[in-house]
Amino acid sequence: MERIYSYGRRDRPRDNRVLHRADPERVGEIYHGPDGEVRGPSVEKRGDRGTDQGCRRQDQSLQGLRRGVAMTSNLMMALLFTLPHEGGYTNHPADPGGATNKGITQRVYDEYRKSKGLIPFDVLSISQNDIHEIYETKYWNPSKAEDMPLTVGVVHFDTAVNLGLGQAAKLLQRVLNVPDDGIIGSVTMAVLDAWDEDVIAKQYIDKREQFYKDLAKNKPQFGVFLKGWLNRCADLRKYIKNI
């Protein structure tokens, strides 16, 4: 019988372990942007994190994940952080992505449905199954997060969702002092495996925070999102300490 491991660190198996399967359910909207294009975090609408409300939102996300499609334990842990921070439906005038739900833009959802031979559908009514499949196929798998130690994988996945796959890869490569070509290949993974995961994760979040500050300075139209971005980074630091 397959053992379901606790969420320790060094002794964690890095193969795909399926935790659950479930029927699709309707959820609120999500939002992302194209690779390399920053989106304002929906956490801005929810105020400060760390409150009872924030805990309830994570509990609700956990319930949704338990009823969702099959996924690996590492992906589930990553989504437990990312989904509450992506929040529900938003259509912020400063966000070039337009209508977004759970971090998924209407454009991304239209492309996903087209790839399956389906007609366009309002992102407001996106199903839990579609949410998980989009995150897994467009962010988790391409980012190589499953091949990384859990803490680094969680940070890398969340960065890819918020900043795009290419920018996330570049930030990680700068932490590791390897060429920042934006492609996670054998060289990047070899150096990553030789480093301590907690050191990588901490420095990765440091660079992400600086990226946001520089972005808000150079592109003032994004300044409205800076507090939310930095709050998200602070929450991420706390989250990876407990997984």
Domains defined for the chain, CATH in brackets: 42-241 (1.20.141.10)
Helix (H) or strand (E) holding 100: strand 100-101
> Bigger pLDDT: 217 or 10?
217
Structure tokens at 71: 């996924």
Query: What are the helix (H) ranges across the chain?
Result: 52-66, 73-86, 106-115, 128-135, 141-143, 150-163, 165-176, 186-194, 197-218, 226-241
What pLDDT score does 99 carry?
84
Cα 64 from chain centroid (whole Å): 16
Q: Determine the Cα–Cα distance for residues 215 and 219; give it in Å rounded to an integer.
A: 6
Q: Determine the Cα–Cα distance for residues 162 and 168; give it in Å rounded to an integer.
A: 9
pLDDT in tens, 113-139: 999 999 999 999 999 999 999 999 999
Q: Determine the Cα–Cα distance for residues 47 and 207; give it in Å rounded to an integer.
A: 24
| C-alpha to C-alpha distances, 95 to 31, 32, 162, 178, 223, nearest whole angstrom | 10, 10, 12, 32, 11
What pLDDT score does 215 carry?
96
Q: DSSP state, 72? A: B
Q: Residue 116 carries which side chain, given as an amino acid letter?
A: K
What pLDDT score does 69 carry?
52
Q: Give me the sign of the Cα torsion angle 239, 139, 221, 182.
A: positive
| Mean pLDDT score of the chain | 78
Stated length of the chain: 243
pLDDT(17) > 90: no
Given pLDDT bands bounded at 50, 70 and 90, which one contains residue 92? confident
Angle (CA) 115 40 135, round 5°: 30
Q: Give me the sign of the Cα torsion angle 235, 236, 241, 243.
A: positive
Of the chain, the percentage scoring pLDDT greater than 70 comes to 69
Place of tokens 């760390």: 50
Structure tokens at 202: 């901490």
Name the least confident of 27-31, 59-63, 191-195.
27-31
Structural contact between residues 155 and 162, judged by C-beta atoms closer than 8 angstroms: no
Q: Give the mean model confidence (pLDDT) for residues 136-161.
A: 97
What pLDDT score does 42 carry?
40
Q: Which residues contact 143 (CB under 8 A, 6 or more apart)?
A: 156, 157, 160, 165, 168, 169, 184
Q: Determine the Cα–Cα distance for residues 227 and 48; give it in Å rounded to an integer.
A: 10
